[in-house]
Amino acid sequence: MDRMVSVNPADLSETAGPEATDPGTLAETVRSMRETQKAWASTSPKERAACVRRLRMLLSDRADDIALTIHRDTGKPRCECYSTEILSCTAMAKYCESLLRRFRFTEKVDQGPMSLMCMMLGRRSYIEHVPYGVIAVISSYNFPLAIPMTEALMAVSAGNAAIIKPSSDTPLTGALIEELFRQAGFPEGLVRTVNGRGVGSALAGAGADKIVFTGGTETGSAVMASASATVTPVILELGGKDAFVVLDDADLERAANCAVWSSFVNSGQVCVSTKRIYLQEGIAERFTEMFVSRVEALKQGNGWIDEEVSVGPMINGTELKRMEELCSMIEEEGGRFLTGGRRNDSLPGYYFLPTVVADLPEDSPLTDTEMFGPIVSLYTFGSDEEAADLVNDCCFALGGSVWTEDIARGRRLASRLHPGTVDVNNATYTFGLPATPWGGRHLSGIGTTHAEEGFRQMMHPHHVHVDGGRFKRDAWWMPYRGGGAEAMRGLNEAFFGRGRGKVSALRSFLRMCRPKRPPGFP
């Protein structure tokens, strides 16, 4: 098989990676992993937690070489390799350990309005949270460790196996993930990495029991269509066009500082990075000056050899060219560049200057176009209501933020916004909070990762209903008998209608069930 090659976009140096995977072998790989998973699913939460803890220690102990591997794949500044990648993984590992200590994999069901009836009939229900089996994790290049590692951690903690398809641009980090799970003592073959172009689409139809996809909306739609052929459930974390709303009472200095980071972290290649900044009239001019001056002061280059570098490269030449094409479209639409708008030819890599755009019409098609690069647009608004309408008038709804000194005002506006996560007086970083759900609406995807909600989505809720056998028959069983319809009508009226005659209705109903022995009913 061909060997993958990683090209560091910061300096165009090349590193040999793992062998590419033959797509024709994927179905057999999934079948073999399912046998490993069955044994893993029978382990106790305590045993799983011990493996997760060892992995967390490895991530910490090997942080330096892990960070270097990430840099070789992505060209990220050294700081970001630790802050946005490794830290997200260690935090998730710690969270999974806590989940495994407290999560109830078997829960008794509260029957609510049916509780009295079920008690009298001697019946109860349980929910067993059962792992799906093999989870396919198809990931993107922008966070080659943090995204697939956190999703795989949730999957295996829930008792699944995980087969990971990293981006073909980041094969070194993908191979490292499999190595780390193996070194931490997880069963051989429980977590596998497969590589190569075209492998992701093949994996979507290779028989995995659930698919977790992170990437562009168009590709995510194709994955969903492929999965639909076998009715395979999916979680899709897709594109974003996050809004950053600055109200007239905000701390402008703090907001500007965060906006710079939120817009240009990972060179803007973040689904939840800021791409639309909405400024309330009255503070727009002042904020713009503060923001642009900070952007122009950023240093761009190889952030591994120079720790004062803040903005790294685009992942490859294709994405760099796409930034140029987007900027041409911005000019055609009437947008004006306050800074940037072109590639940085002074550096030997795929660098595009941090770009700030003004005067782009709000109804421009580019408003619903994911930039996924270092381009951010500025807009103005009048009232809080107008801000909400502008933010929500977008096909993407992954994240966003509101900036104000009045927390109650900020929360009111945040509650009106569509994105899956809305921050008040911060932005973008909450992917790193493992106890909070992560997911979007509209074209930003479906389903949830992270938090207890995400953990539950790695398992199937298996309902077990137990009848103690107290009665010879149910009142609704055949053959139907005289008085049966009246008993059912009375039961419905008493318990789910106007609530009249509960004791009489229950007595008639239980008599129709023919108890095996007198239970002392009223």
Active site residues: 237, 271
**Other C-beta atoms lying within 10 Å of the C-beta of residue 216:** 15
At a CB cut-off of 8 Å and minimum separation 6, what does 437 contact?
Answer: 420, 421, 448, 449, 450, 451, 453, 454
List beta partners, residue 96.
Answer: none
Query: Is 418 strand, coil or helix?
Result: coil
**Other C-beta atoms lying within 10 Å of the C-beta of residue 499:** 10
CA-derived radius of gyration, the chain: 27
Sheet holding 234-237, edge to edge: 191-193, 161-165, 134-138, 210-214, 234-237, 445-446
List beta partners, residue 468.
Answer: none
What is the spatial distance between Cα 36 and Cα 33, in angstroms, rounded to a whole number?
Answer: 5
Phi/psi at 254 (5° precision): -65, -40
Please state the separation of Cα 55 from the chain's center in Å: 21
Contact 238, 419 (CB under 8 A): no
What is the spatial distance between Cα 348 and Cα 302, in angstroms, rounded to a whole number?
Answer: 9
What is the spatial distance between Cα 191 and Cα 256, in angstroms, rounded to a whole number?
Answer: 42
Query: Look-up: residue for tokens 């109903």?
Result: 509
Phi/psi at 355 (5° precision): -125, 130
Class of residue 103 by CB neighbours under 10 A (exposed 0-12, middle 13-18, buried 19+) = middle
| C-alpha dist (Å) from residue 197 to 164, 166, 194, 200, 202 | 14, 10, 10, 7, 10
Phi/psi at 489 (5° precision): -65, -45
